[in-house]
Amino acid sequence: MKVLTTALVALTIIAPTIASAETCTTQETFGVIIHGGTARAGNVPEERLSFMREILTDARADLDRGAEALDVVEMLVANMEDSGLFNAGKAAINNAGGFVETDASIMDGKTMEAGSVASMKLVRNPIKAARLVMDETRHVMMVGDRGETAVTSLGAETVEAEYFVNNKHHDEPEKHGTVGAAVLDRCGNLAAGTSTGGYDAKIPGRVGDSPVIGAGTYAKNGVMAASATGHGEFFIRFTATRSIAARMEYGGLSVGDAAQAAIDEMAAAGSDGDGRGGLIAIDAEGNFAMPFSSEGMVRGITSNTQTPVAGAFGNME
């Protein structure tokens, strides 16, 4: 596979490299897998793929230097939220009431701690708010106006409603995608995170799988880390990401077979496109899985042996 070096658009924001408090260098193996949501044929601008290669390049360098998985997950998802290219953060899609409500979650496979937020209206980076919930409270999930007040008091940055580029009514079909990341660091730690604006024209107050631990996000050291994208109601009902870990732990499946089985189960249960979507996962040995039942899934990978590549349908480059 080859790596393309396409220039980024001017609005792209790349976060600085991570200065981790602890250095993970006990093994050579590390890996990163990210997604930018499901895709329809002919509907994936090259700038998204180019952007993903750029942030994967930064993540690869950070992990090589010993950054921790949890910090890299937060950085990657926050970059995608700030980019204005995906249905998360700045480009989160509006709901039926004409305003944005965002959801996100993050999980540390080393400690099994997790944090999430849902129905945030003015939080700039929901993934950072989710990390604050995990690190600074005894809770896992904070929601709605009162949850937003809580995470703001903890330091979550807020913005004006005009910051969100899709915070207005439109008649075009949803064109963006949920974002997520799963990482294995050089200490063998796993972590995952997911962020979204949800469905276009969703009922205000609707919460999908992205902030639900075990549905949209899951990580457990020694097993796997995963993030989901697609029909959130199905991913919640089938506990999609946790089911991958269960199939691996109790059924002895590989991460690839376990993730594919989870996707197939939901697709079989749905009709007229319901139950479709995709999953990204990485196991404790650095093996990747990225099955999808939708037309495509915007995704990218890198590792200690793999240069950054990204794609939406067939081969990645």
CB 137 within 8 A of CB 154: yes
Fold topology of 31-93+105-111+173-311:
Glutamine Phosphoribosylpyrophosphate, subunit 1, domain 1 (3.60.20)
Mean pLDDT of the chain: 90
Convert the pLDDT of each residue in 103-150 to its tens digit. Answer: 999 999 999 999 999 999 999 999 999 999 999 999 999 999 999 999
Convert the pLDDT of each residue in 60-85 to its tens digit. Answer: 999 999 999 999 999 999 999 999 99
Convert the pLDDT of each residue in 188-225 to its tens digit. Answer: 999 999 999 998 889 999 999 999 999 999 999 999 99
The tokens describing 99, both together, are: 């305003």
Give dist(CA 232, CA 47) in Å, integer: 26
Give dist(CA 33, CA 311) in Å, integer: 12
Query: Of the spans 2-6, 22-26, 211-215, 274-278, which averages the highest pLDDT?
Result: 211-215
Q: State pTM to two decimals.
A: 0.91
Phi, psi of 166 (to 5 degrees): -105, 20
Catalytic residue positions?
178
Reported as half-sphere exposure (CB side, CA atoms, 13 A), residue 169 has a value of: 3
Residue 94, strand partner residues: 100
Give dist(CA 217, CA 195) in Å, integer: 10
- In this structure, what DSSP letter does residue 9 have? P
